[in-house]
A = this chain, B = another copy of it.
Amino acid sequence: MSKILIIGHLNPDTDSITSAISLSYLQNKLGKNTEAVALGKPNEETQYALNYFKTEAPRVISRASDETKEVMLVDHNEFQQAVSDISELTVLAVIDHHRIANFQTINPLYYRAEPVGCTQTIILKLYKEHGIEIPPHIAGLMLSGIISDTLLFKSPTCTDEDIKAAQELATIAGVDLNDYGMELLKAGTNLSGKSAVELISLDAKSFEVNDKKIRVAQVNTVDFNDIFSRKEEIINAINEEISSNHYNLFLFVATNVLDSDSRIIALGDSYLSAERAFNIHLTENEGFLKGVVSRKKQIIPQLTVALSEETVSQ
């Protein structure tokens, strides 16, 4: 029987990569034959976690149907964020903490989503429900997912369950939660040596609202100037993406992980929807989002509402 592949989303972040690893470990302990794979290479933050806990990066794939018919998805469900041949595959299980959209199956499946800050918080529950012990290096990777997704508990997506899970996992992993957390986040803000194209693709997700194609890219930083000193170069890269992929809106979000604010660049024919979504004025396509750090909770829903209203008023 062929292996079940366990896959995170395109442009994988730390939660996506490490959740594939931790779920695969659990499933194999439960007697399944699974392999964690990824739809891209680890970013610098994720690579820091993998090095720290001495774990190989998952094999990178772009298609799955040549080697298996069965997959499990972690940290995503929308098909446009999934492996390219997702519609040819049977999705056995999804473990996720996002909204559900652009997802469907022919058969019943195992689907576990909770409105928590990180997929790993849910996977920790699954370990407990099945009574499977978590080895220290897996606990460390799970912890890294939670730190990354909640920006060390500063994101509004963070729940008490995430904090408790992180504390528990830090103990198993044998690390100091705050020290390790700050080191991990800082590793992800090292953007020197990245081209503008890389900056806008590192952690980018596509969405569709009423036939409009939206892309939201996010990078973490400890100093906005590191990024905005290269604004022109970044705008050129975004405009190329827009023309080759026909995005109606490309939103580039730089998030300061120390101050918990974001600065954005909005481009594309629907760029003004960002003004309505966040109740701001853009100056030269640029705006400041006070207290905004979460794409999932503070950006996507607001854009969805603004773009839906646009359609209604036409």
- Indicate if A59 sits at the interface (CB-CB under 8 A): no
> A29 within 8 Å of B by Cβ?
no
Q: Say yes or no for A164: interface residue by CB 8 A criterion.
A: no
B111 and A107: CB pair below 8 A?
no
Q: Does A104 contact B (CB under 8 A)?
A: yes
Cβ < 8 Å to B, chain A residues 84-125: 97-115
Chain copies in the assembled complex? 2
Is the Cβ of A109 less than 8 Å from the Cβ of B113? Answer: yes
CB–CB B105/A100 < 8 A: yes
Instruction: Kindly state whether residue A280 has any CB partner on chain B within 8 Å.
Output: no
**Could you tell me the distance between the alpha carbons of A111 and B109 in the complex, rounded to whole angstroms?**
12
Smallest distance from the beta carbon of A36 to chain B beta carbons, Å? 22
A54: CB under 8 A from chain B? no
Say yes or no: A99 contacts B107, CB within 8 Å.
yes
Given the complex, which residues of B lie within 8 Å of A100, measured CB to CB?
100, 103-105, 109, 111
User: Are B104 and A108 within 8 A (Cβ)?
Assistant: no
Task: List chain B residues, Cβ under 8 A from A189.
Answer: none
Q: Does A65 contact B (CB under 8 A)?
A: no
Q: A90 CB to closest chain B CB, in angstroms?
A: 11
In this complex, what residue of B is CB-closest to A300? Answer: B106
Task: Tell me, yes or no, whether A258 is within 8 Å of chain B by CB.
Answer: no
List A residues 34-55 near B (Cβ within 8 Å): none
14 residue pairs from A and B, CB less than 8 Å apart: A98-B108, A99-B104, A100-B104, A100-B105, A100-B109, A102-B104, A106-B301, A108-B113, A108-B115, A109-B113, A110-B113, A110-B115, A111-B112, A112-B112
Known contacts A97-B108, A99-B105, A108-B115; 19 additional CB pairs below 8 A are: A98-B108, A99-B106, A99-B107, A99-B108, A99-B109, A100-B100, A100-B104, A101-B104, A103-B103, A106-B301, A106-B304, A106-B305, A107-B301, A109-B113, A110-B114, A111-B112, A111-B113, A112-B112, A112-B113
